[in-house]
Structure 1
Amino acid sequence: MIGGLGGGGFGSAFAGAAGAGLSAALAPQLNSLSKGIAESTGSTLLGNLASNVLASAGGALVGGSAGAATAANADLYNRQLHSKEETLADRLADESGGKYTAQQIDDQMAQMNLTANGQAESGGVRVAVGDQPNDGTNWTPYGVNQAGQQVWAQSLGAGDPNLQAYIVNGAQGSGLTYQATTTGSNPGLFRLPDFVNFQVDYFVGSVWGTFTRDGNSFFGYGVNLGIPNSVGAGVNVSAGYLNTTSVSPGQTNNFAGGYAGGGSALYGGLGGGIMVSPGNGTATVIGFGAGTNVGKTDNPASVGWGFSNDQGKTGIRW
Protein backbone atom coordinates (compact mmCIF):
# COMPACT_ATOMS: atom_id res chain seq x y z
CA MET A 1 0.00 0.00 0.00
CA ILE A 2 1.43 3.41 -0.97
CA GLY A 3 0.01 5.38 1.94
CA GLY A 4 -1.97 4.39 5.02
CA LEU A 5 -5.63 5.02 4.20
CA GLY A 6 -6.73 4.53 7.79
CA GLY A 7 -10.31 4.26 8.98
CA GLY A 8 -13.35 6.31 8.04
CA GLY A 9 -15.20 4.08 5.63
CA PHE A 10 -15.43 3.95 1.85
CA GLY A 11 -15.58 7.71 1.33
CA SER A 12 -12.31 8.34 3.18
CA ALA A 13 -10.62 5.49 1.33
CA PHE A 14 -11.79 6.84 -2.04
CA ALA A 15 -10.55 10.34 -1.22
CA GLY A 16 -7.19 8.97 -0.17
CA ALA A 17 -6.86 6.96 -3.35
CA ALA A 18 -7.66 10.01 -5.45
CA GLY A 19 -4.95 12.02 -3.72
CA ALA A 20 -2.41 9.26 -4.21
CA GLY A 21 -3.27 9.09 -7.92
CA LEU A 22 -2.67 12.82 -8.35
CA SER A 23 0.65 12.67 -6.53
CA ALA A 24 1.72 9.79 -8.78
CA ALA A 25 0.76 11.78 -11.86
CA LEU A 26 2.80 14.77 -10.68
CA ALA A 27 5.74 12.69 -9.48
CA PRO A 28 8.17 13.62 -12.32
CA GLN A 29 7.51 17.35 -11.80
CA LEU A 30 7.76 17.04 -8.01
CA ASN A 31 11.02 15.14 -8.26
CA SER A 32 12.46 17.78 -10.61
CA LEU A 33 11.38 20.54 -8.23
CA SER A 34 12.86 18.73 -5.26
CA LYS A 35 16.17 18.24 -7.07
CA GLY A 36 16.32 21.89 -8.18
CA ILE A 37 15.69 23.26 -4.70
CA ALA A 38 18.19 20.83 -3.20
CA GLU A 39 20.88 21.91 -5.69
CA SER A 40 20.15 25.61 -5.15
CA THR A 41 20.06 25.50 -1.36
CA GLY A 42 22.43 22.62 -0.70
CA SER A 43 19.69 21.00 1.39
CA THR A 44 18.07 17.74 0.32
CA LEU A 45 15.61 18.12 3.19
CA LEU A 46 14.31 21.49 1.90
CA GLY A 47 13.84 20.00 -1.54
CA ASN A 48 11.87 17.07 -0.17
CA LEU A 49 9.75 19.33 2.05
CA ALA A 50 8.85 21.66 -0.82
CA SER A 51 7.93 18.74 -3.03
CA ASN A 52 5.84 17.24 -0.25
CA VAL A 53 3.95 20.47 0.45
CA LEU A 54 2.91 20.70 -3.20
CA ALA A 55 1.96 17.02 -3.24
CA SER A 56 -0.26 17.63 -0.19
CA ALA A 57 -1.88 20.70 -1.76
CA GLY A 58 -2.63 18.85 -4.98
CA GLY A 59 -4.09 15.94 -3.07
CA ALA A 60 -6.30 18.26 -1.04
CA LEU A 61 -7.83 19.74 -4.21
CA VAL A 62 -8.94 16.29 -5.28
CA GLY A 63 -9.66 14.37 -2.14
CA GLY A 64 -9.80 16.74 0.83
CA SER A 65 -7.76 16.03 3.95
CA ALA A 66 -7.61 12.28 3.31
CA GLY A 67 -6.31 12.89 -0.20
CA ALA A 68 -3.71 15.33 1.09
CA ALA A 69 -2.36 12.89 3.64
CA THR A 70 -2.13 10.04 1.16
CA ALA A 71 -0.55 12.17 -1.58
CA ALA A 72 2.13 13.35 0.82
CA ASN A 73 2.88 9.82 1.93
CA ALA A 74 3.09 8.56 -1.66
CA ASP A 75 5.64 11.19 -2.59
CA LEU A 76 7.51 11.05 0.73
CA TYR A 77 8.07 7.31 0.45
CA ASN A 78 9.66 7.46 -2.98
CA ARG A 79 13.36 7.31 -2.04
CA GLN A 80 15.76 5.56 -4.36
CA LEU A 81 19.40 4.72 -3.75
CA HIS A 82 21.82 7.62 -4.13
CA SER A 83 24.68 7.34 -6.61
CA LYS A 84 27.10 7.41 -3.66
CA GLU A 85 25.37 4.33 -2.25
CA GLU A 86 25.80 2.46 -5.54
CA THR A 87 29.51 3.32 -5.52
CA LEU A 88 29.78 2.05 -1.96
CA ALA A 89 27.91 -1.14 -2.90
CA ASP A 90 30.42 -1.84 -5.68
CA ARG A 91 33.32 -1.37 -3.27
CA LEU A 92 31.80 -3.58 -0.57
CA ALA A 93 31.09 -6.29 -3.15
CA ASP A 94 34.74 -6.25 -4.22
CA GLU A 95 35.96 -6.32 -0.62
CA SER A 96 33.73 -9.31 0.18
CA GLY A 97 35.83 -11.50 -2.10
CA GLY A 98 32.83 -12.84 -4.01
CA LYS A 99 30.69 -13.50 -0.94
CA TYR A 100 28.23 -10.73 -1.85
CA THR A 101 27.28 -9.13 -5.16
CA ALA A 102 26.62 -5.43 -5.67
CA GLN A 103 22.98 -6.32 -6.43
CA GLN A 104 22.57 -8.08 -3.08
CA ILE A 105 24.12 -5.13 -1.28
CA ASP A 106 21.91 -2.65 -3.17
CA ASP A 107 18.78 -4.55 -2.14
CA GLN A 108 19.79 -4.55 1.53
CA MET A 109 20.82 -0.88 1.50
CA ALA A 110 17.38 0.06 0.21
CA GLN A 111 15.84 -1.63 3.26
CA MET A 112 18.14 0.06 5.79
CA ASN A 113 17.81 3.43 7.48
CA LEU A 114 20.34 5.90 6.07
CA THR A 115 21.84 9.08 7.48
CA ALA A 116 23.79 11.24 5.02
CA ASN A 117 24.85 14.89 5.40
CA GLY A 118 22.91 15.02 8.65
CA GLN A 119 19.66 13.96 6.98
CA ALA A 120 17.93 10.70 7.91
CA GLU A 121 15.97 8.59 5.42
CA SER A 122 14.04 5.51 6.49
CA GLY A 123 14.39 2.21 4.64
CA GLY A 124 11.69 0.05 3.13
CA VAL A 125 9.96 -0.85 -0.11
CA ARG A 126 9.37 2.17 -2.36
CA VAL A 127 7.09 3.07 -5.26
CA ALA A 128 7.73 5.16 -8.36
CA VAL A 129 5.84 6.13 -11.50
CA GLY A 130 6.83 6.65 -15.11
CA ASP A 131 10.11 5.19 -16.28
CA GLN A 132 11.59 2.29 -14.32
CA PRO A 133 14.09 3.67 -11.79
CA ASN A 134 17.69 2.74 -12.44
CA ASP A 135 19.20 2.83 -8.96
CA GLY A 136 20.66 -0.67 -8.77
CA THR A 137 17.66 -2.30 -7.06
CA ASN A 138 14.96 -4.49 -8.60
CA TRP A 139 11.64 -2.86 -9.56
CA THR A 140 8.45 -4.74 -10.42
CA PRO A 141 5.59 -3.27 -12.52
CA TYR A 142 2.55 -2.67 -10.33
CA GLY A 143 -0.12 -1.56 -12.80
CA VAL A 144 -0.94 1.78 -14.45
CA ASN A 145 -2.32 4.84 -12.65
CA GLN A 146 -5.18 7.05 -13.84
CA ALA A 147 -2.74 9.26 -15.74
CA GLY A 148 -1.64 6.26 -17.79
CA GLN A 149 1.76 6.05 -16.13
CA GLN A 150 3.41 2.79 -15.12
CA VAL A 151 3.65 2.30 -11.37
CA TRP A 152 6.71 0.46 -10.03
CA ALA A 153 7.35 -1.16 -6.66
CA GLN A 154 10.75 -2.17 -5.38
CA SER A 155 11.32 -5.92 -5.09
CA LEU A 156 14.03 -6.25 -2.47
CA GLY A 157 13.70 -9.79 -1.16
CA ALA A 158 14.10 -10.78 2.46
CA GLY A 159 16.30 -8.84 4.85
CA ASP A 160 19.68 -10.42 5.62
CA PRO A 161 20.95 -9.51 9.10
CA ASN A 162 24.48 -10.70 8.32
CA LEU A 163 24.75 -8.65 5.12
CA GLN A 164 23.20 -5.62 6.79
CA ALA A 165 25.77 -5.89 9.58
CA TYR A 166 28.49 -6.07 6.90
CA ILE A 167 27.14 -2.90 5.27
CA VAL A 168 27.01 -1.04 8.60
CA ASN A 169 30.66 -1.85 9.28
CA GLY A 170 31.85 -1.33 5.70
CA ALA A 171 30.20 2.10 5.37
CA GLN A 172 32.24 3.59 8.21
CA GLY A 173 34.24 6.57 6.97
CA SER A 174 32.22 6.87 3.74
CA GLY A 175 29.95 9.68 4.93
CA LEU A 176 26.99 7.29 4.88
CA THR A 177 25.67 5.82 8.11
CA TYR A 178 23.33 2.84 8.00
CA GLN A 179 21.07 1.29 10.60
CA ALA A 180 20.03 -2.33 10.17
CA THR A 181 16.29 -2.91 9.87
CA THR A 182 16.44 -6.72 9.90
CA THR A 183 17.60 -8.10 13.22
CA GLY A 184 16.35 -11.70 13.05
CA SER A 185 16.04 -13.75 16.21
CA ASN A 186 17.92 -12.80 19.36
CA PRO A 187 18.07 -15.87 21.63
CA GLY A 188 18.41 -15.34 25.35
CA LEU A 189 20.34 -17.10 28.07
CA PHE A 190 18.67 -20.51 27.61
CA ARG A 191 19.37 -21.47 24.02
CA LEU A 192 20.80 -24.03 21.64
CA PRO A 193 24.57 -23.87 21.04
CA ASP A 194 25.75 -20.78 19.24
CA PHE A 195 28.14 -22.91 17.19
CA VAL A 196 29.20 -26.52 16.69
CA ASN A 197 32.84 -27.43 16.01
CA PHE A 198 34.44 -30.56 14.47
CA GLN A 199 38.21 -30.78 14.95
CA VAL A 200 41.10 -33.05 13.99
CA ASP A 201 44.49 -32.75 15.73
CA TYR A 202 47.78 -34.26 14.63
CA PHE A 203 50.99 -33.62 16.57
CA VAL A 204 50.79 -29.83 17.05
CA GLY A 205 48.73 -29.12 13.90
CA SER A 206 44.97 -28.76 13.91
CA VAL A 207 42.13 -28.26 11.39
CA TRP A 208 38.43 -27.76 12.08
CA GLY A 209 35.04 -26.95 10.67
CA THR A 210 32.58 -24.71 12.51
CA PHE A 211 28.85 -24.22 11.92
CA THR A 212 27.08 -21.23 13.48
CA ARG A 213 23.50 -20.48 14.48
CA ASP A 214 23.52 -17.74 11.82
CA GLY A 215 23.76 -20.42 9.11
CA ASN A 216 27.41 -20.02 8.09
CA SER A 217 30.23 -22.53 7.93
CA PHE A 218 33.89 -21.82 8.71
CA PHE A 219 37.11 -23.69 7.95
CA GLY A 220 40.01 -23.17 10.31
CA TYR A 221 43.58 -24.26 10.91
CA GLY A 222 46.20 -23.64 13.54
CA VAL A 223 48.15 -25.25 16.37
CA ASN A 224 46.89 -27.31 19.29
CA LEU A 225 49.39 -28.34 21.93
CA GLY A 226 48.55 -31.24 24.24
CA ILE A 227 49.90 -30.91 27.77
CA PRO A 228 52.23 -32.46 28.79
CA ASN A 229 52.67 -34.73 25.71
CA SER A 230 52.35 -32.99 22.35
CA VAL A 231 53.03 -36.10 20.24
CA GLY A 232 49.65 -37.60 19.38
CA ALA A 233 46.48 -37.40 17.33
CA GLY A 234 42.79 -36.99 18.09
CA VAL A 235 39.33 -35.94 16.99
CA ASN A 236 36.62 -34.12 18.90
CA VAL A 237 33.18 -32.60 18.56
CA SER A 238 32.15 -29.65 20.69
CA ALA A 239 29.37 -27.12 21.16
CA GLY A 240 30.04 -23.51 22.09
CA TYR A 241 28.06 -20.80 23.86
CA LEU A 242 29.02 -17.14 23.71
CA ASN A 243 29.39 -15.81 27.23
CA THR A 244 26.55 -13.30 26.90
CA THR A 245 22.95 -13.33 28.09
CA SER A 246 21.69 -12.89 24.50
CA VAL A 247 23.14 -13.22 21.00
CA SER A 248 22.38 -10.72 18.24
CA PRO A 249 22.27 -11.76 14.56
CA GLY A 250 25.74 -11.94 13.06
CA GLN A 251 27.43 -11.98 16.49
CA THR A 252 28.31 -15.67 16.32
CA ASN A 253 29.75 -15.26 12.82
CA ASN A 254 31.93 -12.42 14.06
CA PHE A 255 33.16 -14.63 16.87
CA ALA A 256 33.83 -17.66 14.66
CA GLY A 257 35.73 -15.80 11.94
CA GLY A 258 39.31 -14.59 12.10
CA TYR A 259 41.77 -15.37 14.89
CA ALA A 260 40.83 -17.21 18.07
CA GLY A 261 42.48 -19.28 20.75
CA GLY A 262 41.85 -20.92 24.07
CA GLY A 263 42.38 -23.83 26.39
CA SER A 264 40.50 -26.97 27.37
CA ALA A 265 40.59 -29.84 29.83
CA LEU A 266 39.54 -33.45 29.18
CA TYR A 267 38.62 -36.33 31.44
CA GLY A 268 37.35 -39.71 30.27
CA GLY A 269 36.56 -38.46 26.77
CA LEU A 270 34.47 -35.51 28.01
CA GLY A 271 35.77 -32.01 28.41
CA GLY A 272 35.26 -28.30 28.30
CA GLY A 273 37.13 -25.08 27.91
CA ILE A 274 37.18 -21.39 27.05
CA MET A 275 37.67 -19.82 23.63
CA VAL A 276 38.77 -16.21 23.10
CA SER A 277 38.14 -14.23 19.90
CA PRO A 278 39.95 -10.88 20.09
CA GLY A 279 37.43 -8.07 19.97
CA ASN A 280 34.47 -10.48 19.99
CA GLY A 281 34.47 -11.84 23.55
CA THR A 282 34.70 -15.35 24.88
CA ALA A 283 32.75 -18.60 24.65
CA THR A 284 32.35 -21.68 26.82
CA VAL A 285 32.91 -24.94 24.95
CA ILE A 286 31.78 -28.44 25.94
CA GLY A 287 32.26 -31.67 24.00
CA PHE A 288 33.75 -35.11 23.68
CA GLY A 289 36.68 -36.62 21.82
CA ALA A 290 39.07 -39.51 21.36
CA GLY A 291 42.73 -39.77 20.53
CA THR A 292 46.03 -41.49 21.04
CA ASN A 293 49.44 -40.44 22.28
CA VAL A 294 52.92 -41.73 21.60
CA GLY A 295 54.00 -42.86 25.03
CA LYS A 296 52.13 -43.54 28.23
CA THR A 297 51.39 -39.98 29.24
CA ASP A 298 47.79 -38.81 29.06
CA ASN A 299 47.00 -35.19 28.27
CA PRO A 300 44.49 -33.69 30.71
CA ALA A 301 44.67 -30.28 29.01
CA SER A 302 45.51 -28.51 25.76
CA VAL A 303 45.98 -24.98 24.43
CA GLY A 304 45.61 -23.77 20.87
CA TRP A 305 45.44 -20.84 18.47
CA GLY A 306 44.32 -20.51 14.87
CA PHE A 307 42.50 -18.69 12.09
CA SER A 308 39.06 -19.40 10.52
CA ASN A 309 37.68 -18.43 7.10
CA ASP A 310 33.97 -17.92 6.42
CA GLN A 311 32.87 -20.42 3.76
CA GLY A 312 29.42 -18.86 3.29
CA LYS A 313 25.84 -19.90 3.92
CA THR A 314 24.85 -23.50 4.55
CA GLY A 315 21.08 -22.95 4.54
CA ILE A 316 20.90 -24.40 8.06
CA ARG A 317 20.39 -22.06 11.00
CA TRP A 318 18.78 -22.32 14.40
Structure 2
Amino acid sequence: NVLNSGKVPAPAKIIQDTVVGPSLGQESINAGMLSFVIAFILVLLYMGLFYKTAGWMSDIALLFNVFLLMGVLVSFGAVLTLPGIAGIVLTMGMAVDANVIIYERIKEELRGGKGLSLAIKDGFSKAYSAIIDGNLTTIITGIVLFIFGNGPVQGFATTLIIGIVTSFFCAIFITRLLIEWIVAKWGNISFSHKWSENFLNNTHVDFLSKRKISYTIVVVLMVLSFLSLAVRGLNLGAEFTGGRAYVVRFDKAVSAEAVRQNLDEAFSAITDADASSVSFEVKQYGNENQMRIVTQYRYDDTSDEATAEVEQIL
Protein backbone atom coordinates (compact mmCIF):
# COMPACT_ATOMS: atom_id res chain seq x y z
CA ASN A 1 0.00 0.00 0.00
CA VAL A 2 2.84 2.38 0.79
CA LEU A 3 4.48 1.68 -2.59
CA ASN A 4 1.21 2.10 -4.45
CA SER A 5 0.55 5.43 -2.79
CA GLY A 6 3.87 6.79 -4.03
CA LYS A 7 4.77 8.37 -0.69
CA VAL A 8 7.81 6.37 0.37
CA PRO A 9 9.86 8.55 2.75
CA ALA A 10 12.99 9.57 0.82
CA PRO A 11 14.43 12.82 2.18
CA ALA A 12 16.96 14.70 0.03
CA LYS A 13 20.17 15.97 1.55
CA ILE A 14 22.42 18.63 0.03
CA ILE A 15 25.96 17.26 0.15
CA GLN A 16 27.70 20.06 -1.79
CA ASP A 17 26.94 23.67 -2.61
CA THR A 18 29.05 25.64 -5.10
CA VAL A 19 28.69 28.82 -7.12
CA VAL A 20 29.36 28.47 -10.85
CA GLY A 21 30.84 31.50 -12.59
CA PRO A 22 30.08 32.70 -16.13
CA SER A 23 30.76 29.89 -18.59
CA LEU A 24 32.72 32.07 -21.01
CA GLY A 25 34.16 34.63 -18.64
CA GLN A 26 33.86 38.39 -18.44
CA GLU A 27 36.34 38.77 -21.31
CA SER A 28 33.99 37.05 -23.74
CA ILE A 29 31.04 39.11 -22.52
CA ASN A 30 33.03 42.30 -23.10
CA ALA A 31 34.05 41.08 -26.57
CA GLY A 32 30.41 40.38 -27.42
CA MET A 33 29.31 43.84 -26.33
CA LEU A 34 32.23 45.43 -28.20
CA SER A 35 31.23 43.64 -31.40
CA PHE A 36 27.68 44.96 -30.96
CA VAL A 37 28.89 48.55 -30.54
CA ILE A 38 31.25 48.35 -33.54
CA ALA A 39 28.61 46.79 -35.79
CA PHE A 40 26.07 49.40 -34.70
CA ILE A 41 28.40 52.32 -35.44
CA LEU A 42 29.44 50.92 -38.83
CA VAL A 43 25.81 50.45 -39.88
CA LEU A 44 24.98 54.02 -38.80
CA LEU A 45 27.91 55.44 -40.77
CA TYR A 46 27.18 53.39 -43.88
CA MET A 47 23.54 54.44 -44.10
CA GLY A 48 24.31 58.09 -43.41
CA LEU A 49 27.23 58.31 -45.83
CA PHE A 50 25.53 56.39 -48.64
CA TYR A 51 21.92 57.61 -48.46
CA LYS A 52 22.54 61.10 -47.06
CA THR A 53 19.53 62.61 -45.22
CA ALA A 54 17.30 59.57 -45.69
CA GLY A 55 20.11 57.41 -44.37
CA TRP A 56 20.35 59.46 -41.19
CA MET A 57 16.59 59.08 -40.76
CA SER A 58 17.00 55.31 -40.95
CA ASP A 59 19.72 55.63 -38.30
CA ILE A 60 17.24 57.31 -35.97
CA ALA A 61 14.79 54.50 -36.68
CA LEU A 62 17.57 52.03 -35.89
CA LEU A 63 18.04 53.66 -32.48
CA PHE A 64 14.32 53.25 -31.88
CA ASN A 65 14.71 49.64 -32.93
CA VAL A 66 17.44 48.97 -30.35
CA PHE A 67 15.39 50.43 -27.49
CA LEU A 68 12.26 48.64 -28.68
CA LEU A 69 14.11 45.32 -28.95
CA MET A 70 15.60 45.67 -25.47
CA GLY A 71 12.21 46.66 -24.07
CA VAL A 72 10.51 43.59 -25.55
CA LEU A 73 13.27 41.32 -24.24
CA VAL A 74 12.88 42.78 -20.75
CA SER A 75 9.07 42.54 -20.83
CA PHE A 76 9.27 38.88 -21.88
CA GLY A 77 11.84 38.15 -19.19
CA ALA A 78 14.23 36.76 -21.81
CA VAL A 79 17.69 35.75 -20.58
CA LEU A 80 20.51 37.55 -22.41
CA THR A 81 23.26 35.15 -23.47
CA LEU A 82 26.26 35.47 -25.78
CA PRO A 83 24.30 33.84 -28.64
CA GLY A 84 21.57 36.34 -27.82
CA ILE A 85 24.06 39.18 -28.28
CA ALA A 86 25.03 37.60 -31.60
CA GLY A 87 21.34 37.65 -32.56
CA ILE A 88 21.15 41.35 -31.73
CA VAL A 89 24.28 42.10 -33.78
CA LEU A 90 22.79 40.18 -36.71
CA THR A 91 19.54 42.09 -36.29
CA MET A 92 21.38 45.41 -36.56
CA GLY A 93 22.63 44.47 -40.02
CA MET A 94 19.30 43.05 -41.14
CA ALA A 95 17.39 46.03 -39.74
CA VAL A 96 18.57 48.34 -42.52
CA ASP A 97 17.95 45.79 -45.28
CA ALA A 98 14.38 47.00 -45.55
CA ASN A 99 15.51 50.63 -45.69
CA VAL A 100 17.99 49.84 -48.47
CA ILE A 101 15.26 48.13 -50.52
CA ILE A 102 12.87 51.04 -49.96
CA TYR A 103 15.43 53.73 -50.76
CA GLU A 104 16.61 52.03 -53.93
CA ARG A 105 13.00 51.65 -55.03
CA ILE A 106 12.33 55.34 -54.35
CA LYS A 107 15.43 56.28 -56.37
CA GLU A 108 14.12 54.21 -59.27
CA GLU A 109 10.78 56.00 -59.08
CA LEU A 110 12.53 59.37 -59.05
CA ARG A 111 14.63 58.43 -62.07
CA GLY A 112 11.38 57.46 -63.79
CA GLY A 113 10.20 61.06 -63.55
CA LYS A 114 7.80 60.87 -60.61
CA GLY A 115 7.49 63.63 -58.06
CA LEU A 116 9.05 63.26 -54.63
CA SER A 117 5.85 62.56 -52.68
CA LEU A 118 4.55 60.06 -55.23
CA ALA A 119 7.97 58.38 -55.50
CA ILE A 120 8.09 57.95 -51.71
CA LYS A 121 4.56 56.53 -51.64
CA ASP A 122 5.17 54.10 -54.52
CA GLY A 123 8.64 53.21 -53.26
CA PHE A 124 7.30 52.06 -49.93
CA SER A 125 4.28 50.23 -51.37
CA LYS A 126 6.28 48.40 -54.06
CA ALA A 127 8.99 47.35 -51.60
CA TYR A 128 6.57 45.73 -49.14
CA SER A 129 6.40 42.34 -50.85
CA ALA A 130 10.19 41.86 -50.97
CA ILE A 131 10.58 43.02 -47.35
CA ILE A 132 7.79 40.78 -46.05
CA ASP A 133 9.11 37.74 -47.94
CA GLY A 134 12.63 38.22 -46.62
CA ASN A 135 11.53 38.77 -43.02
CA LEU A 136 9.03 35.90 -43.12
CA THR A 137 11.62 33.34 -44.21
CA THR A 138 13.99 34.51 -41.46
CA ILE A 139 11.23 34.31 -38.84
CA ILE A 140 10.41 30.76 -39.94
CA THR A 141 14.07 29.83 -39.49
CA GLY A 142 14.07 31.43 -36.06
CA ILE A 143 10.92 29.56 -35.03
CA VAL A 144 12.46 26.24 -36.09
CA LEU A 145 15.60 27.02 -34.07
CA PHE A 146 13.51 27.96 -31.05
CA ILE A 147 11.38 24.80 -31.19
CA PHE A 148 14.14 22.27 -31.81
CA GLY A 149 17.01 24.05 -30.07
CA ASN A 150 17.71 24.52 -26.40
CA GLY A 151 19.67 26.82 -24.14
CA PRO A 152 21.95 29.14 -26.15
CA VAL A 153 20.24 28.25 -29.44
CA GLN A 154 16.89 29.35 -28.05
CA GLY A 155 18.48 32.57 -26.82
CA PHE A 156 19.74 33.31 -30.32
CA ALA A 157 16.38 32.41 -31.87
CA THR A 158 14.47 34.59 -29.41
CA THR A 159 16.48 37.73 -30.10
CA LEU A 160 16.44 37.01 -33.83
CA ILE A 161 12.64 36.66 -34.01
CA ILE A 162 11.96 39.71 -31.85
CA GLY A 163 14.60 41.70 -33.72
CA ILE A 164 13.06 40.90 -37.10
CA VAL A 165 9.61 42.02 -35.92
CA THR A 166 10.88 45.27 -34.39
CA SER A 167 13.07 45.96 -37.43
CA PHE A 168 10.10 45.54 -39.76
CA PHE A 169 8.01 47.90 -37.64
CA CYS A 170 10.73 50.56 -37.50
CA ALA A 171 11.52 50.34 -41.22
CA ILE A 172 7.90 50.52 -42.35
CA PHE A 173 6.46 52.97 -39.84
CA ILE A 174 9.18 54.93 -38.02
CA THR A 175 11.36 55.56 -41.08
CA ARG A 176 8.38 56.57 -43.22
CA LEU A 177 7.10 58.86 -40.47
CA LEU A 178 10.46 60.62 -40.28
CA ILE A 179 10.82 60.94 -44.06
CA GLU A 180 7.33 62.34 -44.54
CA TRP A 181 7.93 64.75 -41.66
CA ILE A 182 11.11 66.02 -43.34
CA VAL A 183 9.29 66.46 -46.67
CA ALA A 184 6.37 68.26 -45.02
CA LYS A 185 8.70 70.60 -43.10
CA TRP A 186 11.37 71.38 -45.70
CA GLY A 187 9.77 70.20 -48.92
CA ASN A 188 12.67 67.98 -49.95
CA ILE A 189 14.87 65.11 -48.83
CA SER A 190 17.96 63.53 -50.39
CA PHE A 191 18.29 59.78 -50.87
CA SER A 192 21.90 59.79 -52.06
CA HIS A 193 25.06 61.81 -52.49
CA LYS A 194 26.40 62.73 -55.89
CA TRP A 195 28.93 59.90 -55.80
CA SER A 196 26.39 57.30 -54.69
CA GLU A 197 23.46 58.41 -56.83
CA ASN A 198 24.27 56.12 -59.75
CA PHE A 199 26.42 53.61 -57.88
CA LEU A 200 26.16 50.25 -59.73
CA ASN A 201 23.23 51.72 -61.64
CA ASN A 202 24.66 50.96 -65.08
CA THR A 203 26.32 47.69 -64.15
CA HIS A 204 25.04 44.86 -66.32
CA VAL A 205 26.22 41.27 -65.95
CA ASP A 206 24.88 38.68 -68.37
CA PHE A 207 24.44 35.86 -65.88
CA LEU A 208 22.42 33.67 -68.26
CA SER A 209 25.21 33.50 -70.83
CA LYS A 210 27.56 32.25 -68.10
CA ARG A 211 25.15 29.77 -66.56
CA LYS A 212 27.09 26.69 -67.72
CA ILE A 213 30.25 27.91 -66.02
CA SER A 214 28.27 28.74 -62.88
CA TYR A 215 26.56 25.34 -62.83
CA THR A 216 29.92 23.59 -63.21
CA ILE A 217 31.53 25.53 -60.37
CA VAL A 218 28.55 24.97 -58.07
CA VAL A 219 28.41 21.22 -58.77
CA VAL A 220 32.16 20.82 -58.20
CA LEU A 221 31.97 22.71 -54.90
CA MET A 222 28.98 20.63 -53.77
CA VAL A 223 30.75 17.35 -54.58
CA LEU A 224 33.91 18.47 -52.76
CA SER A 225 31.84 19.53 -49.75
CA PHE A 226 30.03 16.19 -49.54
CA LEU A 227 33.31 14.29 -49.95
CA SER A 228 34.94 16.34 -47.20
CA LEU A 229 31.96 15.72 -44.94
CA ALA A 230 32.03 11.98 -45.64
CA VAL A 231 35.80 11.59 -45.23
CA ARG A 232 36.61 13.95 -42.38
CA GLY A 233 33.20 14.41 -40.77
CA LEU A 234 32.15 17.23 -38.51
CA ASN A 235 34.36 18.42 -35.68
CA LEU A 236 31.90 18.04 -32.82
CA GLY A 237 32.54 19.79 -29.53
CA ALA A 238 32.34 18.30 -26.05
CA GLU A 239 28.72 19.39 -25.68
CA PHE A 240 27.82 16.93 -28.47
CA THR A 241 30.25 14.08 -27.90
CA GLY A 242 30.70 14.16 -24.14
CA GLY A 243 34.05 14.47 -22.42
CA ARG A 244 36.14 14.33 -19.29
CA ALA A 245 35.32 16.78 -16.49
CA TYR A 246 37.86 17.96 -13.92
CA VAL A 247 37.61 20.39 -11.03
CA VAL A 248 41.03 22.02 -10.61
CA ARG A 249 42.06 24.10 -7.60
CA PHE A 250 44.96 26.57 -7.91
CA ASP A 251 47.11 28.10 -5.18
CA LYS A 252 45.85 31.58 -6.04
CA ALA A 253 43.06 33.23 -8.01
CA VAL A 254 43.30 32.81 -11.79
CA SER A 255 41.19 33.90 -14.74
CA ALA A 256 39.36 31.45 -16.95
CA GLU A 257 40.86 33.13 -20.01
CA ALA A 258 44.41 32.52 -18.74
CA VAL A 259 43.61 28.86 -18.10
CA ARG A 260 42.06 28.61 -21.55
CA GLN A 261 45.19 30.03 -23.21
CA ASN A 262 47.43 27.64 -21.30
CA LEU A 263 45.27 24.69 -22.32
CA ASP A 264 45.56 25.83 -25.95
CA GLU A 265 49.33 25.76 -25.65
CA ALA A 266 49.31 22.41 -23.85
CA PHE A 267 47.18 20.68 -26.45
CA SER A 268 49.17 22.32 -29.26
CA ALA A 269 52.28 20.62 -27.87
CA ILE A 270 50.75 17.17 -28.42
CA THR A 271 52.51 15.55 -31.36
CA ASP A 272 50.10 12.68 -31.95
CA ALA A 273 46.89 14.70 -31.99
CA ASP A 274 45.46 17.59 -33.93
CA ALA A 275 45.07 20.28 -31.29
CA SER A 276 42.53 22.14 -33.42
CA SER A 277 40.17 19.16 -33.09
CA VAL A 278 40.34 19.17 -29.28
CA SER A 279 37.55 21.15 -27.71
CA PHE A 280 37.45 22.15 -24.07
CA GLU A 281 35.41 24.37 -21.80
CA VAL A 282 36.69 26.32 -18.81
CA LYS A 283 34.56 28.11 -16.25
CA GLN A 284 34.92 29.33 -12.71
CA TYR A 285 33.64 26.77 -10.24
CA GLY A 286 33.04 28.11 -6.76
CA ASN A 287 36.00 30.17 -5.57
CA GLU A 288 38.16 32.32 -7.86
CA ASN A 289 41.00 29.81 -7.60
CA GLN A 290 38.85 26.87 -8.70
CA MET A 291 37.98 25.96 -12.29
CA ARG A 292 35.89 23.28 -13.91
CA ILE A 293 37.49 21.99 -17.11
CA VAL A 294 35.68 19.78 -19.61
CA THR A 295 37.63 18.33 -22.55
CA GLN A 296 36.81 15.77 -25.21
CA TYR A 297 40.42 14.66 -25.65
CA ARG A 298 40.43 10.81 -25.50
CA TYR A 299 37.08 10.91 -23.73
CA ASP A 300 36.09 7.51 -25.17
CA ASP A 301 39.28 5.83 -23.88
CA THR A 302 38.76 4.60 -20.31
CA SER A 303 42.25 3.17 -19.88
CA ASP A 304 44.54 4.32 -17.09
CA GLU A 305 47.08 5.44 -19.68
CA ALA A 306 44.59 7.85 -21.30
CA THR A 307 43.50 9.21 -17.93
CA ALA A 308 47.11 9.75 -16.89
CA GLU A 309 47.90 11.56 -20.16
CA VAL A 310 44.98 13.97 -19.82
CA GLU A 311 45.86 14.68 -16.20
CA GLN A 312 49.47 15.27 -17.21
CA ILE A 313 48.35 17.82 -19.82
CA LEU A 314 46.22 19.59 -17.24
Give the TM-score of the pair, scaled to structure 1.
0.24
Structure scoring higher RCO (CA < 8 A, sep ≥ 6) equals 2
**Greater strand share, 1 or 2?**
1
